[in-house]
Structure 1
């Protein structure tokens, strides 16, 4: 390059600031108690956003998102090191399965045969059992550079794993584009009939994961006319109850904490807050649809959740009890974050009227999720 031209370009770069580029970086994140190494894969979109994905649980460990003034903050709860994820996992950022959410008494029947999975939530199975997909190390299949950096991870769950039939090969692909979309694409295949319902269990706080304000001041909209009431153990009763006139009506943007402590509502007393399925559609849609929109009035950050699933499990962080020390020494308290999980309805293996989570050989299960970030003025 001509010297004067090179000096000119260098001067322009100095005046304009460094040019960010999309990138994928892999680095060690520690070792499990059995010695298995865990990696962190950092995806950067060239616009200041970056997502850190762990091979443990195919989990979102961090997501840096700008506010309306361009200031970056991590909007995901979790830990700075592997020790926290091993000691108190709490499903932070994790891929949950084989069957996300709850199965009543951990039992279901398939092809006339009964199966028992470990119960780990009172009398019920939750998120796959005592050692679900959140607690295993996934393999990095490939990374994707270019305009949409990403990573694909794979876990092969053997026949009989946590009581589920069939060898299930699951993949999770995370990608981050320059528009502010963090996409999570799940797929799975099996060699025997089985059940599968994967989702993502990231805890979100658009004000920042350690903010004093918590997440109850966030305004949320869920475009659902009905939700699934539950019994005292969080298993759906089978009713699709209209949200009209209830604390479950988020069809217009409403502060999450406005009604969460409504002592008159039995459903909120059951779970110490929201931990329910919203019925976005009665059957599995053929295309992506808006599941929720969350806005932080203070920072201007906005997150839209889109998916091709019929249900959205919304959990208001009711059991973050102040005993969890997260990133940078932050204490996570009740209501400090929310979880939004697009999926099939809870206990679907026992409720044919809810649809089906059955997967047969030759079929491919899929759940496509997009967390779309922007800002308001």
Structure 2
């Protein structure tokens, strides 16, 4: 097990560093202190060939100009807040409108657009980097001085763990996730339409035209949203189901997890033989199949296009501040928040 640190670029005259965690089995994870952004995850295919399985850029400028949130931690609140405002304890808070009339992924300067403090830790069986950031009261309109820690850990069982910890000196709202786009083909050789996703979920949230939840929980039975026995992403991308069409040909939907910490999310690519198991303590996961992905900046030499990656955003349910029937995002004053998601890399049996 080892860990490496090197300069990646400069942001506002401040050096941005890349950290690489490496285990004894050919798995490496590279990420930046800018936005806690994961830039590469290298895993071997069934022939032992190590290749990158996430979308990203070779240079910092790509991330500075990026609107797709490649690999970063998003917050204080991941997802959309309708009307860019919410009421908490009788007070209304106005947030930045950075997606039409909505607030998206923490606003204009969310967790993804700041440099975090970093502390490296090395052990014989695991290596980690603990990132820290103090989000001041009023930043992007949110109440409370919020101290956040995000810890990335890789072990010799090929498990990569993300742990989020937060505490605020005022009651506030918090809903964080990592926004990596996965493509298990390796080095973006193919799109993700023939990736198979298995998901322990009986319900998903219906979306409105603006991609905000209607508030209705829809049953997955008999629909392209039933991943309980495994389903190719292609089946949703090519579906005539109104919800798949509304999302732009695929998925951009929150799913309610029926189990936690029990192989509840499994992504497979039969051609490369790669498999990734995701386990979390979060109530849900947003599945996004990059239906809106476009632009001119090459992604590791590949032109951006639809269905080039899939996001598995473990988190609370979007726009929960406007739906009393959703689990709450409210973080009480001086009460600790902790959330853990683990990605286990391996091969299809």
TM over 0.5: yes
- State the match for 2:230 in structure 1: 253
**How far apart are 1:323 and its partner, in Å?**
2.9
Q: Say whether 1:307 aligns with 2:280.
A: yes
| Cα 1:236/1:89, change in 2 over 3 Å | closer
8 Å Cα contact 1:38-1:137 kept in structure 2: yes
8 Å Cα contact 2:62-2:297 kept in structure 1: no
8 Å Cα contact 1:291-1:342 kept in structure 2: no
Runs (5+) with no aligned partner, structure 1:
1-21
Q: Which has the higher strand share?
A: 2
Matches of 1:106 and 1:89 in 2, distance apart?
18
Q: Which moved more, 1:154-163 or 1:358-367?
A: 358-367
Matches of 1:138 and 1:173 in 2, distance apart?
11
8 Å Cα contact 1:67-1:301 kept in structure 2: yes
**How far apart are 1:135 and its partner, in Å?**
1.0
The 3-state SS of whatever aligns with 1:352 is coil
Q: Say whether 1:333 aligns with 2:305.
A: yes
- State the match for 2:261 in structure 1: 288
CA deviation map 1:303-331 (0-9, x unaligned): 0111001111000011112533121x221
Q: Which has the higher helix share?
A: 1
Matches of 2:231 and 2:20 in 1, distance apart?
34
**How far apart are 1:89 and its partner, in Å?**
4.5
Q: Which moved more, 1:359-368 or 1:337-346?
A: 359-368
Runs (5+) with no aligned partner, structure 2:
none
Q: Say whether 1:122 aligns with 2:100.
A: yes
**How far apart are 1:260 and its partner, in Å?**
1.5
- State the match for 1:220 in structure 2: 197
- State the match for 1:152 in structure 2: 130
8 Å Cα contact 2:236-2:244 kept in structure 1: no
The 3-state SS of whatever aligns with 2:170 is coil
- Out of 233, 239, 247, the residue aligned to residue 216 of structure 2 is 239
Task: Give the 4+ runs in structure 1 shifted more than 2 A.
Answer: 141-146, 287-291, 321-324
- Out of 10, 16, 24, the residue aligned to residue 3 of structure 2 is 24
Q: Say whether 1:318 aligns with 2:291.
A: yes
How many residues are matched? 348
Matches of 1:290 and 1:313 in 2, distance apart?
16
Q: Say whether 1:192 aligns with 2:166.
A: no
Superposition CA RMSD, Å: 1.3
Matches of 2:131 and 2:252 in 1, distance apart?
28
Q: Say whether 1:342 aligns with 2:314.
A: yes
CA deviation map 1:121-160 (0-9, x unaligned): 2221111112111111111034334310110001111100
TM-score, normalized by length of structure 1? 0.90
- State the match for 1:143 in structure 2: 121
- State the match for 1:365 in structure 2: 337
- Out of 156, 175, 187, the residue aligned to residue 153 of structure 2 is 175
**How far apart are 1:48 and its partner, in Å?**
0.8
- Out of 270, 280, 286, the residue aligned to residue 297 of structure 1 is 270
